[in-house]
Copies of this chain bind each other. A is one copy, B any other.
Amino acid sequence: MLWQVDPTDAAPLYEQIASSVRRAVAEGELTDGERLPPAKHLAASLEVNLHTVLKAYQVLRDEGCLELRRGRGAVIIAKKPDAPDIGELISELVRSARAMGIPDMQLMALLVERMGNGHEN
Contacts and interface: CB of A to CB of B under 8 A. Distances in A.
Contact of A99 (B19, B64, B91, B98): B64
Nearest to A89: B93
A117 to B, nearest CB: 7
A102 B121 contact: no
B61 A117 contact: yes
Given A101-B23, A121-B69, A89 B91 contact: no
A111 B114 contact: no
A121 B68 CA distance: 8
Interface in A61-112: 61-65, 68-70, 79, 83-87, 89-104, 107-108, 110-112
B86 A97 contact: yes
